[in-house]
Copies of this chain bind each other. A is one copy, B any other.
């Protein structure tokens, strides 16, 4: 437990291996860890995420941050990739996000619709694709079918598949909610089962009393961990979901903006608990550029010492 898989331990095809090698060793920290800069929030939440730092509404801002900060890759939908990456081609690896949605309609029956394809990723020289899977949504069936075709194309083209594995939908809300230990742990395993090479997870809210609504085994975990030191519980929670992801490399997301100390603590615990990397967006680009570079460097230091 707590040890991230190395590329050598993974049985990936030659094409996936070449691309993952670029992400793990040729870019970013370069020591087999991953640090991604996602910029699909303009789709998922709208330009409202750019209000704290208006400059970051221009995707070139994130491109520069990714290059100067030395990220393992940047995450774009096809429109932004095509319009903003020319000057960064080859220098900043691209992860093409294939599906998305706005947060305007209700999340009750969440489904993230595909608007670009693995072939687009190949054409654009991407080193990976991102796919959001809403585990437990009433539309989970459509999602599995859509994902299955993406997964098959990834196998065909040797393209690494990064699944944003998110519990979502009305049903999960009655079982502890989308951030419960139960839900995140389940989502981690599902990603491993359906063929993710890398999975993006949220750190479960292990102190949230809604965990009481989860199935008994998880309720028990919650109650045990409640008795522990918070950092110790944090580590256990991360280790649990990392273990459930099996041979799938795990990225943890930063989520909405938090204080620097909390962010670095999160980074440290996640990496120590076996994560392969981090995917921090708002916490990096919702600040002035130099400040963004500085915090990037601090996070990278943690990755480099992992």
- Which chain A residues have a beta carbon within 8 Å of chain B's beta carbons? 10-11, 40, 42-43, 46-48, 51, 57-59, 77-80, 82-84, 86, 99-102, 104-106, 111-117, 119-120, 123, 135-138, 140-145, 147-148, 151-152, 155, 167, 169, 171-172, 175, 182-183, 185-186, 188-196, 215, 217-218, 243-244, 246-248
Contacts and interface: CB of A to CB of B under 8 A. Distances in A.
Contacts of A152: 116-117, 119-120
A135 B101 contact: no
A102 B46 contact: no
Contacts of A182: 46, 48
Contacts of A102: 135-136, 140, 186, 190
Q: How many copies, total?
A: 5
B117 A185 contact: no
A contacts with B: majority SS: helix
18 contacts: A10-B83, A11-B82, A46-B185, A46-B189, A57-B244, A80-B193, A82-B195, A83-B246, A83-B247, A100-B144, A102-B186, A105-B140, A105-B171, A113-B141, A113-B144, A115-B151, A117-B152, A123-B155
A114 B144 contact: yes
Given A105-B171, A189-B43, A196-B79, A117 B58 contact: no
